Copies of this chain bind each other. A is one copy, B any other.
Amino acid sequence: MPKIVDHEARRRHIAEALLRIISRDGLDAVSLREVAAEAEVSMGMVQHYFSTKDEMLMFALAHLNARIGERVARAAAAGSPRALVRAGLLELLPLDEERAFEARIGLAYLARSVVAEDLAALLRAALPYVVGFYAEQIRTAQALGQVYAGLDAGKEATILFTMAQGMVNPALIGHLTPEQVEAAVDYQLDRLFPSR
């Protein structure tokens, strides 16, 4: 067998270049040649590690999700249910350059999921877990008396999540400042967790 190469590392290297292109210029700007140039490798190498463009896009999405997942897990280390929910929501919002980088990519895939059934299936599978996490925290808070027991944890979770998702574009195009985004999140959270 030939040269010693870390296969997965190469794939990640290429995937990161791909993500940079999506974040900077959108999904439309992705071509094998562009990816090769951005990754500073040959086009043949890109083809060597990904048999089709679609596979590459899927791998890059999984790679991104892993990255975000790690960050969320780290942010979710600290504290109360409210802090956990807040941290989880803010990780999805473009409040700094790192999160904006990811939010742009996420929105691109999100839009494509409307016409790409494989992406839609992925989302449908993942969403229950994401929203479920928020719902669970709210139920915990209800058990602790931090949230009024009469509230519908599932609906509250859905509202929080969709609100955050809906703020992504307005924040990215500059209609909402990071401060306004954070203030709106906290405003809704204050209502849910009246103790503060």
A contact residues vs B (CB 8 Å cutoff): 24-29, 104, 107-108, 110-116, 120, 123-124, 127-128, 152, 155, 158-159, 161-170, 172-176, 180, 183-184, 187-188, 191
A185 and chain B: residue at smallest CB distance: B159
Contact assessment for A26 and B115 in the assembled complex, using a CB-CB cutoff below 8 Å: yes
Contact assessment for B165 and A169 in the assembled complex, using a CB-CB cutoff below 8 Å: yes
CB distance from A8 to the nearest CB of B (A): 29
A104-B114, A115-B26 known; A166-B175 Cβ under 8 A = no
List the B side residues contacting A191 at CB < 8 Å. Answer: 191
How would you classify the secondary structure of chain A's contact residues: helix, strand, loop or mixed? helix
Contact assessment for A184 and B155 in the assembled complex, using a CB-CB cutoff below 8 Å: yes
26 sample A-B contacts, Cβ–Cβ < 8 Å, listed by A number:
A26-B111, A27-B28, A28-B28, A104-B115, A107-B111, A108-B111, A108-B114, A110-B169, A111-B112, A111-B169, A113-B173, A114-B169, A120-B174, A123-B175, A124-B173, A127-B175, A128-B175, A155-B183, A155-B187, A159-B187, A159-B188, A162-B166, A162-B167, A162-B184, A163-B163, A164-B166
